[in-house]
Amino acid sequence: MIVIENLTKIYDGSSKAAVDGMSLKIERGEFLVFLGPSGVGKSTLLRCINQLVIPTSGRISIDGEEITNTTAKELLHARRDIGMIFQEFNLVGRMSVMMNVLSGRLGYISLWRALTYRFSREDKNRALHALKRVGLDDEELIKRRADALSGGQRQRVGIARALVQEPKVILADEPVASLDPKVSKVVMDILADIAEKDRITVIMSLHDIEMSKRYANRIVGLSKGKIIFDGRAEDLTSQTLNKIYA
Ligand SMILES: Nc1ncnc2c1ncn2[C@@H]1O[C@H](COP(=O)(O)OP(=O)(O)OP(=O)(O)O)[C@@H](O)[C@H]1O
Ligand SMILES: [Mg+2]
């Protein structure tokens, strides 16, 4: 379970909170969508969960292990549990698909191995398994540079990279915003399957209301850094939507 308590983020030089005293409990295997218009704090919230953004105050823990207020070493360890996928995929373009996926194992190997990108046979098998899971198991494709892939293929590599971490949670910041509807569906279906079958918690930010309703077991509607709806998709009324998008 992920517990977020009284989380606040005020960026340096800003007078208002991007995330304003949020509290939330998220159960294992949930597919949760943060829904809301631009600037309500979706990315900030996701980035606080893996400490890419350091909260101003509040606490976050995963299965009882606190990830806020930790030492750098504890944080490295805690981050193994958290896979992240991005709107712009964030792959290393000049590296092969296989190497991009293997980089998801960097948190598990010694520094000298990490520096020389030496991965064990088990890690390579894990990577192949993850690639298969996202439907990319063509031998030629796996050797190709990541910048020679389509957007949908890149995002699937991004998911495979998160999967090889064997994470408890996958955070996804607008994962399909750069993709066309058909490819978006493929990516969302993979993420839904991961939440359901692997019981990996998926926490995602989305703009798209219809897509949120179709995939999420739980929607958290945000407005100005605060939660104004938390419930099942079918309970999200047009009145509430008007408030979220006011
Ligand atoms: N690095 C930063 N420094 C200062 N202010 C920031 C920074 N990042 C975000 N903000 C501000 O924090 C608020 C929340 O931004 P955030 O990016 O979390 O929103 P969002 O819901 O993800 O928006 P979008 O849908 O456009 O991605 C906004 O007012 C934004 O301008
Ligand atoms: Mg954002």
pLDDT of residue 202: 98
What pLDDT is recorded for position 130?
A: 97
The number of the ligand nearest the C-alpha atom of 35 reads 1
Q: Is 41 in the pocket of ligand 1 (CB under 6 A)?
A: yes
Average of per-residue pLDDT across 101-114: 86
Taking the model in full, what pTM does it have? 0.94
Q: Taking residues 164-183, what's their average pLDDT? A: 96
Q: Which residues pair with 4 in a beta bridge?
A: 24, 60
On whether the CB atoms of residues 245 and 223 are closer than 8 A, the answer is no
**Mean pLDDT of all residues belonging to the chain:** 94
Range with lowest mean pLDDT among 74-78, 82-86, 185-189, 192-196: 74-78
Is the C-beta atom of 15 inside 6 A of ligand 1?
Answer: no
Q: What is the mean pLDDT of residues 97-103?
A: 95
**CA separation for the pair 163, 76 (Å, rounded):** 17
Among the ranges given (95-99, 108-112, 130-134, 203-207), the one the predictor scored with the smallest mean pLDDT: 108-112
Query: What confidence tier does 109 reach under pLDDT thresholds 50, 70, 90?
Result: confident
Report the C-alpha gap between 87 and 70 in whole angstroms. 28
Give percent of the chain with pLDDT exceeding 90.
Answer: 89
* Beta-carbon neighbours within 5 Å of ion ligand 2: 42-43
Residue 117 pLDDT > 90: no
Distance from residue 120's CA to the centre of ligand 1 (Å): 39
Domain segments of the chain: what residues?
1-81+168-246, 91-166
Minimum CA distance residue for ligand 1 atom 9: 44
Q: Is the CB of 38 under 6 A from ligand 1?
A: yes
In angstroms, the CA 48 to CA 93 distance is 26
- d(C-alpha 41, C-alpha 38), whole Å: 8
Q: Each residue of 128-146: pLDDT tens digit?
A: 999 999 999 899 999 999 9
Centre of ligand 2 from the C-alpha of residue 106, in Å: 26
Query: How far is residue 244's CA from residue 246's CA, in Å, rounded to a whole number?
Result: 6
Res. 73: pLDDT tops 90: no
| Token pair in block for residue 143 | 């050797």
| pLDDT score of 239 | 93
pLDDT category, 72, cuts 50, 70, 90? Answer: confident
Taking the CA of residue 36 as reference, the ligand 1 atom at the shortest distance is: 21
3-class DSSP assignment, residue 116: coil
DSSP state of 44: H
- Is the pLDDT at 236 greater than 90? The verdict is yes
Which residue's structure tokens are 């964030």? 90
Query: Is pLDDT of 41 > 90?
Result: yes
CATH number of 1-81+168-246: 3.40.50.300
Asked if residue 159 has pLDDT above 90, the reply is yes
In ligand 1, the atom with minimum distance to the C-alpha of 11 is 4
